[in-house]
Structure 1
Amino acid sequence: MSPPLPNHMLRQLGRTEGDAETLRFLVRDQDTRRLLLLRALLDAAEAAPATICPPRALDRLRQDWALLEKAERADRAAVRTVLFHPLAGPWAQRCLRGLTGAISGTGLPADLDHLSALSAAAAIRGRVAFSARLTARDGLLSLPTLGALRTPPGPVDIDFSDGEATLCPPTGEPSLTVHAHRDGTTGSPDPRWLPVHALPAVLPGIGPVPLDDVDPYRIEGGGLQHHGLSAATHIDDHERKAWTESWSGVEPLLRIGGEHRLTETAVLLRCLIPLGPPPGSGPTGEGAAHCSGTRREAFGAVLSSRPATPAYFASTLVHELQHTKLAALGALVPLHHEDATPRHFAPWRSDPRPFDGLLQGAYSHIALADYWQRFALGAQRVTHRDLAWAEHARCREQVGAVLPVLAGSAALTSEGRVVVNEMITLYHRLDDCPPPTGHLARAEAYVATAKVIWQQRNGSRRQ
């Protein structure tokens, strides 16, 4: 893994900041872990009994791995784009758990088949000619990072050469040709092909951000409903235009929050996964209500319903990328040794939270408090300023309610203590520009009411 994190980087991250060098340090560590995970998957397949990984499945895995190696020799960067795609993480972990007996069920053969789709996508990106037989499921054959073919379940033969992939679906359907361009985009006049839509880069020199609504592992095993998120969704042309329009206003609004907000989006965000509108937001998702989340095993992915405005889009990225940063930091250096018992009050949740969840939530909310304060100070319109002050006051008051619990923990590691101390420093720095009195009073009442309701609901578990 990566060498120990330098102290100046740790302090940056504790303040919810991080320059490009610091963030790339986290990225390199996560990418190394992905490669080790893939190697562990292949080793587990080799070691698994034939009842779990039959000889035919093992032979296919070896062939897929050989194609990956061939493609990497041709274009290492192109192949890494596929292997480091966030949604390859949930897939690899699911396969590894199945191969080692950590989970049981009938899905392992289909999961193992997905390596064929990954290796095919890598070969296409690496411009390596090949022929293979892939397997469609749930009405789609996905080629990760590229797109998907809408087709009945069953075998799909694919031949690729000279930038063109010919796909032959099952059940006698006509074949189709997909053009694969060197920039990773794909196209076909056939409506059965669903390319991955890409949002423009937020900074020059950075690649576009895929809006991936076709990868089969975008929610697999993610427990979205458990976390209060709506289901993943496929988006039509109208929705793509709406996402693009909202995204086009994000860059200047992120910049209001400081250059570090643009930097973390440029360095950390690898794809967006569109979710359906959250409950109560109307049939088209209008209004400020939206839901979003991240998955530790899908580093670089943000799952989100479409925010109604660019301002909420920007704040969603600020919120979720803090989870990405802190999870990556926690994988690199332990921040605490608290157990996972859910017992702590968090004003942003109705259920008791484990210590790690409390730390994660406080970290993201203090970043939001900082972002909305900067937004309020820079806003030209009164309505925008009032909205920003209200959001700032609520987030700051929420963090203030839980910081004593974090600071009082005897189970923080030395690195965790640095992070919490920097969070406290940021919290007090926010006092330099307090919100208007009315916003502050409403925020205090909001948090006080949330605590009373939480105590009534959770009784003796409160802390």
Structure 2
Amino acid sequence: MHTNGVLLDDRYLDVFAEYDVKVGVSLDGDRVANDRHRRYADGRSSYDRVIRAVELLSRRREVYAGLLCTIDVANDPLAVYRALSDLNPPRIDFLLPHATWDTPPPRPSETAYADWLIRIFDAWLDEGARVPVRMFESILRTSRGESSLTESLGLEPADLVVIETDGAYEQADSLKVAFDGAPSTGLNVVSDDLDTVAAHTGILARQQGLGGLCDTCRACPVVDSCGGGLYAHRYRTGSAFANPSVYSADLLKLITHVRHRTAMPAHALPYETIEALACGYGDDHDMEHLLAGQRTLRRGLLAGVHAQRSAADGWDLLTRLDAEHRPAVDAVLDHPYVREWAARCLTGGGSPGYLANIAAAAAVRAGVDAEITLQDVDGVFHLPTLGAFEATSGADGRLLVKDERFTLARTPDAVWLPVRKIETGGFTVILEDTDPHRHCHGHLAAGRLPEEEAGAWQRMFTEAWSLIESHYPRYAPGLRAALSTVVPLAPPEGGDVSSAARHAFGSVAIALPKDPATLALLLMHEFQHVKLGAVLDMVDLYDQGHSGLYYAPWRPDLRPLEGLLQGTYAHLAVSDFWRVRRDSVPGDTEVQFALWRKHTADAIDSLNGSQALTPLGMRFVAGMRRSVEPWLAEPVADEAIALAAELARRHRAASGAR
């Protein structure tokens, strides 16, 4: 039962204990907060009598259910929380005031209720969550796929029916806030059984889970925790309950904050980051979320490799360094091809002994003395992020790290090939031509570059980056923050070649093109794949079991849904490149823009029509659509539109013939 507590005494508690009735008490915080609304009719404070009831319950913990606090944002949230938690209740339950779109709650700011609760959550978390708080626990539980502890959150079916004192069955009494008679079912204990009540349309409406929510809620990234909020809070005249909660902005902000602070499930992507990435961009802060997820993933993969028990020395050194020199370990684990190697090991295609090379590279970076045997891979003893020793005949892989210097202990004259870097304007990337695990891009990687060719890369990269910063500034922060490596590919016989590998976040592979503008385009294009791959490591954008194949305007073959999603996302940048390029370079640039904006928009339509996107996937693709729609409205010469349409028709026809 629930009570304001003013009449509670030991006689009642004896009865409750006999019949195993749990008792909760309404208390809105300290004296100031509680007396704002909970006074006697003559104006006297009820606070002292409520505190007396709480003290009685504290001595009878077997019947004590906890405290319920109705939120009033006019009260100091920390004062409220301290007053409640100092009473050491079994649980605190914060209740959003009952309101609807017709009668909205008092709201001094757009997310006043979220801001109020966030201050309490941060204090609660910092203090070790010493008192259970139902709302916060429910967000944490639903974020990791478990059930909610309250009807106001989560997607579980409502399982509550009320029996009024006259025997009438009613729905939850919170529905009274919507309109007169809203909870009524027309059923009664005298004439109807509970199976009949369960079949009532009002009860069924609150048991539909995701399917019972409006489109806005279904597309929300936190719908698995929010669940649309309390059913009563969705009401609006004209559309009934087919709306988001009147507290939807608060719930989105609160849940996103909770997930961000607790990194739930593994690393949550904040709402703002998802929105920025969906539109095709993302800045350095957005990249930090992707980088953090990748670091955790790589550590897990390395632990899996260690479980094969083939690299004990490397694991022991690496874990010791991780405890004392984590930045050095992170710098090595951030190298894109560490994950590629680990993934290959776990599928039976790599050498677990290379873990020693990873540990040795971290020791060198940390300046820690060590001695360890390196793994020879494809003729080199490679140290990720540093370079490689050529494994000449008779070379011994015993590496000695001493006084920040390192050498092959028994082959001191081994040829060292230091990692190459290209740099411009404070932006530096590795030009990776020694890592034996870079051969994963579907194209032939170049060997060790001659100095002249490395110089050509430097000159062209400088010009390409200048073009990106000046003409495509929305792509520059993400590239600068997360592009760490470029792998030179062997020159193709004709055309340009580039690639991104699914397990190599932070790297793209490119054959040196004919001009800086093409290099800029290829960097932008492939980095889109890099970003989306990292997003897909953290969240589900589509049904993994979906087996449909789809036409992709840039491929001769039909593509699975992930392939179409990847290609469409990459071609956001391609379309944008030609959109800007046509203003400064005459020729076929206008045709290219007309062609690729159409292809990209058509592919977005295919994604939306797949029926296989998750709610978050729908939101992500909607962000892609928001970027493309203004481009479709930009004026383009009729001749360019006609030629682009003809090229598109020919491609589709050729694809269909195949």
TM-score between the two structures when normalised by the length of structure 1: 0.79
1:250 aligns with 2:461: no
Which residue in the other structure is 1:234 paired with?
Answer: 448
Q: Single out whichever of 434-443 and 404-413 deviates more from structure 2.
A: 434-443
Which residue in the other structure is 2:314 paired with?
Answer: 64
Contact 1:146 / 1:195 at 8 angstroms: preserved in 2?
yes
Q: Deviations over 1:114-161 (max 9, x none)?
A: 111111111111111112222434332211111111223653222221
Q: Deviations over 1:14-68 (max 9, x none)?
A: 11012322221122112111112212222x325xxxxxxxxxx4xxx22212222
RMSD over aligned Cα atoms: 2.1
Written as runs of structure 1 = structure 2, the 5 A alignment for 1:254-293 is: 254-280=468-494, 289-293=495-499
1:139/1:4 CA distance change after superposition, 3 Å: closer
Distance 1:436 1:392 in 2: 11
Distance 1:160 1:213 in 2: 23
Q: Single out whichever of 302-311 and 384-393 deviates more from structure 2.
A: 384-393
1:263 aligned counterpart, secondary structure? helix
2:614 pairs, out of 386, 389, 413, with 413
Distance 1:409 1:342 in 2: 8
**C-alpha deviation, 1:254, in angstroms:** 0.9
Give structure 1 stretches of 5+ with no counterpart.
47-56, 99-106, 177-189, 281-288, 458-463
1:26 pairs, out of 267, 283, 290, with 290
**C-alpha deviation, 1:376, in angstroms:** 2.6
1:40/1:151 CA distance change after superposition, 3 Å: closer
2:398 pairs, out of 157, 176, 192, with 157
Contact 1:257 / 1:370 at 8 angstroms: preserved in 2?
no
Distance 1:335 1:137 in 2: 37
Q: Which amino acid aligns with 1:68?
A: L
1:212 aligns with 2:432: yes
Written as runs of structure 1 = structure 2, the 5 A alignment for 1:285-434 is: 289-337=495-543, 339=545, 341=547, 343-377=549-583, 379=584, 384-434=585-635
1:148 aligned counterpart, secondary structure? strand
Contact 1:292 / 1:303 at 8 angstroms: preserved in 2?
yes
Contact 2:422 / 2:431 at 8 angstroms: preserved in 1?
yes
Which residue in the other structure is 1:113 paired with?
Answer: 353
Q: Which has the larger radius of gyration?
A: 2
**C-alpha deviation, 1:92, in angstroms:** 0.8
Distance 1:130 1:6 in 2: 41
Distance 1:340 1:318 in 2: 29
Q: Deviations over 1:372-395 (max 9, x none)?
A: 212333x2xxxx243543432232
Which residue in the other structure is 1:175 paired with?
Answer: 412
Contact 2:441 / 2:501 at 8 angstroms: preserved in 1?
no
Contact 1:302 / 1:320 at 8 angstroms: preserved in 2?
yes
Contact 2:341 / 2:437 at 8 angstroms: preserved in 1?
yes
Q: Which amino acid aligns with 1:255?
A: E
Distance 2:287 2:407 in 1: 40
1:148 pairs, out of 388, 392, 395, with 388
2:397 aligned counterpart, secondary structure? strand
Distance 1:193 1:338 in 2: 45
1:131 aligned counterpart, secondary structure? strand
Contact 1:136 / 1:152 at 8 angstroms: preserved in 2?
no
**C-alpha deviation, 1:201, in angstroms:** 5.0
Q: Deviations over 1:329-383 (max 9, x none)?
A: 1221111116464631112111111111111111111221112212333x2xxxx
1:94 aligns with 2:300: no
Which residue in the other structure is 1:45 paired with?
Answer: 308
Name whichever structure is richer in helix by fraction: 1
Q: Single out whichever of 433-442 and 116-125 deviates more from structure 2.
A: 433-442
Contact 1:253 / 1:311 at 8 angstroms: preserved in 2?
yes
Q: Single out whichever of 396-405 and 152-161 deviates more from structure 2.
A: 152-161
Give structure 2 stretches of 5+ with no counterpart.
1-264
Q: Which amino acid aligns with 2:283?
A: D
Q: Percent identity?
A: 31
Contact 1:2 / 1:28 at 8 angstroms: preserved in 2?
no
Which residue in the other structure is 2:654 paired with?
Answer: 453
Which residue in the other structure is 1:200 paired with?
Answer: 423
1:386 aligned counterpart, secondary structure? coil
Contact 1:136 / 1:155 at 8 angstroms: preserved in 2?
no
Contact 2:390 / 2:416 at 8 angstroms: preserved in 1?
yes
Contact 1:10 / 1:415 at 8 angstroms: preserved in 2?
no
1:238/1:433 CA distance change after superposition, 3 Å: same
Contact 2:487 / 2:507 at 8 angstroms: preserved in 1?
yes
Q: Single out whichever of 86-95 and 437-446 deviates more from structure 2.
A: 437-446
Contact 1:268 / 1:300 at 8 angstroms: preserved in 2?
yes
1:125 pairs, out of 342, 362, 365, with 365
Contact 1:342 / 1:352 at 8 angstroms: preserved in 2?
no
1:8 aligns with 2:8: no
**C-alpha deviation, 1:259, in angstroms:** 2.5
**C-alpha deviation, 1:257, in angstroms:** 4.2
Distance 2:482 2:655 in 1: 34
Distance 1:74 1:80 in 2: 12
Q: How many residues align?
A: 393
Contact 2:294 / 2:534 at 8 angstroms: preserved in 1?
yes
